[in-house]
Amino acid sequence: MKVFFKKILSFRFNKKRITSPEETMKYLIVGLGNIGSEYAHTRHNIGFDILDELAQQAKIEFQADRYGSIATYKFKGRTFILLKPSTYVNLSGKAVNYWMQKEKITADKLLVIVDDLALQFGTLRLKPKGSDAGHNGLKNIQSTLGHNNYARLRFGIGDNFSKGRQVDYVLGTWNRDEQLILDERIAVAIDIIKSYGTIGVTQTMNQFNNK
């Protein structure tokens, strides 16, 4: 009898953890931005605005939590954990790493949405991995995670600023011409998020990149 119970205990504590179907269908979608009213709806906060629009369409609400605001979005059997870090852009890695660990989400299920000066306004480009391209948020995430093997969706904000005015431009609000098409480009970004979680990064890139 003692031998029997020893075998049971040995099996219970030594067996490998099995990943549940729910975990394999879970994604962390991170929109980068800065908290505070002075940063609201600026070019640098496009990640926040995209997730806010997705939440509004889905009729879900963000709740303040550790290192950021969180909302859970269900779509076609997938669970999307939407995260707006409260750590400010330059320290985004702390929030990303915490929520990956908490929700048991691996890097291949992580998507980070960022603004990009190198892309023409409204251009959307999804990549499965890559360099930080000078973006401090991506730089901090890479430093914290120890790698750059995660997907990122770059939203082009253009570079229409004079010498020495880059910070003012990035932290500035959209001009009148940009406002006319901003909603449409945000809608496409939301389609990319949904597609990323359902058909994968490669097919989504083929369907949406540069369109």
Domain that holds residue 26: 20-208
According to the model, what pLDDT value does residue 1 have?
53
Using alpha carbons, select from 70, 59, 66 the residue that is nearest to residue 28.
Answer: 70
Distance of alpha carbon 105 from alpha carbon 97, whole angstroms: 10
Q: Could you tell me if residue 89 is inside a domain?
A: yes
Structure tokens at 49: 């605005």
pLDDT digits (tens, 9 = 90+) for 88-138: 999 999 999 999 999 999 999 999 999 999 999 999 999 999 999 889 999
Predicted TM-score (pTM) of this structure: 0.88
Residue whose structure tokens are 């779509």: 75
Q: In what order do the strands lie in the sheet with 110-116?
A: 63-65, 68-75, 78-85, 26-31, 110-116, 151-156, 124-127
Q: Could you tell me if residue 93 is inside a domain?
A: yes
Q: Could you tell me if residue 27 is inside a domain?
A: yes
Q: Could you tell me if residue 192 is inside a domain?
A: yes
Distance of alpha carbon 8 from alpha carbon 201, whole angstroms: 42
Q: Could you tell me if residue 175 is inside a domain?
A: yes
Query: pLDDT under 70 in the chain at which residues?
Result: 1-24
Structure tokens at 81: 């954990």
For the chain, first and last CA: distance in Å?
68
Sequence-distant (6+) residues with CB within 8 A of 103 are 26, 28, 81
Q: Could you tell me if residue 161 is inside a domain?
A: yes
Q: Could you tell me if residue 125 is inside a domain?
A: yes
Using alpha carbons, select from 156, 157, 152, 140 the residue that is nearest to residue 193.
Answer: 152
Structure tokens at 109: 């299920």
Give the CATH number for residue 152: 3.40.50.1470
pLDDT digits (tens, 9 = 90+) for 143-154: 999 999 999 999
Count the domains in the chain: 1
Using alpha carbons, select from 179, 126, 129, 128 the residue that is nearest to residue 155.
Answer: 126
Which residues are tagged catalytic? Answer: 44
According to the model, what pLDDT value does residue 22 have?
53
Which neighbouring-strand residues pair with 64?
Answer: 69
